[in-house]
Amino acid sequence: MTDFGWIEGALAAARPQAMAALLRYFRDMDAADEAFQDACLRALKAWPKNGPPRDPTAWLIMVGRNAAIDAVRKTSRNAPLPPEDLLSDLEDAEAEAAERLDSAHYRDDVLRLLFICCHPDLPATQQIALALRIVSGLSVREIARAFVVSDTAMEQRITRAKARIGAGDAPFEAPGPIERAERFAAVAAMIYLVFNEGYSASGKALEAKGGLCDEAIRLARLLLRLFPAEPEMMGLAALLLLQHARSDARFAADGAAILLEDQDRSLWNRRMIDEGLALIDKAMLKQAPGPYQVQAAIAALHARAACAEDTDWAGIDRLYATLEIMQPSPVITLNRAVAIAKVRGPDAALEMIAPLGGRLDAYFPYHGARGALLLQAGRRAEARQAFDRAIALANTAAEAANIRQYLDRVAAKD
């Protein structure tokens, strides 16, 4: 870390609030973004000399606003920029500004910013791109890399998103309680998608996308601070922490995925697990379960098992049953079948997933899981057929390699 590493940390932390306030002021995303960049450049110049301001966020908002106004003046009247020393006057104005920009204001600003990025008119991919660009401050290039598209394509996606919500139409008043609740779900879903984008990557792509998981956790923490009493928000943050805690154990050196039960649990990140467990315990106190909490509770049961054999499969089965009621989906039933197989054996699980064949016929994990259950039940010929079908549907080389390991096991038993 450089001696001024603290500045970068402070700028990153101030970003959501400062961007949100600048957006409220300019009502234009590009103008707000430019003003924030400008303020950051000035901070990098001024803070090492003068030390950090009492309220970095208020400083950035004020300097960003002034810089943008100066820029407009400069182009319209060709007047010179005020000398940098004038910025020192800000020290006095700072306290006053900090007082005006009280926490309640911040809260609404940041919510509005997240809500704008999750505008219902935008497709999910554009919501994610916009949030990563505007709230997280990732560069277009970083986002493009993470989504494996060209810089130009990502630039277009973000530009389109900005145009679509056009500053004029975006709601700048603080959202009412009903809209807040609706958009909360959209924002939470967006954070979950950002996380999954990072989590589902493997091999080379993982290097590019790994940061997305950290970013999603940061956004989840931010949203949790805005909704500190919302159990589903605690559940979402817990879920992301508990999943991400396993990231160092999920892949072998050659890039092949390692199944949960085969992972070296000493590689799991204890600190993230502990925080995730603390959050899900706290959420449970509220007795208002929701899908994120249930998923986090499942992840927590895996995290609490010292070794794979200690896993509370009956508890996981019950939680999946709850999730099936909340969000009926063949994929959840398929996941539940894995727990059923552990509790009641492969035949019970096969019976459970038999009706899913039609809807999940093109779904790679269905055939993989079915093959594994058939193999467990000793129905080797059918298992081989299922694995062949899975390989045909594999999306990545790692998925195919994984199934080939099973086929080798079938062959070994023949």
Interface ranges with another protein (CB under 8 A): 1, 5-6, 9-10, 12-14, 52, 55, 102-103, 214, 218, 221, 224-225, 228-229, 234, 237, 274-275, 278-279, 282, 285
Q: Which amino acid is at 69?
A: I
Q: Which residues of 15-48 are buried (b: 16+ CB within 10 A; e: fewer)?
A: bbbbbbbbbbbbebbebbbbbbebbbebbeebbe
Closer to another protein by Cβ: residue 221 or 409: 221
Closer to another protein by Cβ: residue 235 or 368: 235
What's the min distance (Å) between Cβ of 371 and another protein?
A: 38
> CA angle, corner 146, sides to 225 and 273, nearest 5?
45
What's the min distance (Å) between Cβ of 268 and another protein?
A: 16
Closer to another protein by Cβ: residue 129 or 280: 280
What's the min distance (Å) between Cβ of 84 and another protein?
A: 24
Q: Which amino acid is at 212?
A: L
Joined tokens for residue 90 = 């800000």
What's the min distance (Å) between Cβ of 282 and another protein?
A: 6
Query: What's 359's DSSP letter?
Result: T
185, 194, 133, 177: which is closest to 159 by C-alpha? 133
By the 10 Å C-beta count (0-12 exposed, 13-18 middle, 19+ buried), 197 is classed as buried
* Coil vs helix vs strand at 311: coil
What's the min distance (Å) between Cβ of 305 and another protein?
A: 22
The Cα–Cα gap between 46 and 52 comes to 9
Closer to another protein by Cβ: residue 244 or 302: 244
Closer to another protein by Cβ: residue 37 or 329: 37
What's the min distance (Å) between Cβ of 56 and another protein?
A: 8
205 and 147 Cβ atoms separated by less than 8 Å: no
218 and 198 Cβ atoms separated by less than 8 Å: no
Closer to another protein by Cβ: residue 63 or 219: 219
What's the min distance (Å) between Cβ of 106 and another protein?
A: 10
User: Got the DSSP string for 42-92?
Assistant: HHHHHHHHH---SSHHHHHHHHHHHHHHHHHHHHHH-PPPPPGGGGGGHHH
What's the min distance (Å) between Cβ of 322 and another protein?
A: 23
Tell me the longest C-alpha to C-alpha distance in the chain.
Answer: 85
End-to-end Cα, the chain, rounded Å: 58
Residue 35: CB partners within 8 Å, gap ≥ 6?
A: 22, 26, 64, 65, 67, 68
Closer to another protein by Cβ: residue 145 or 336: 145
Closer to another protein by Cβ: residue 13 or 206: 13
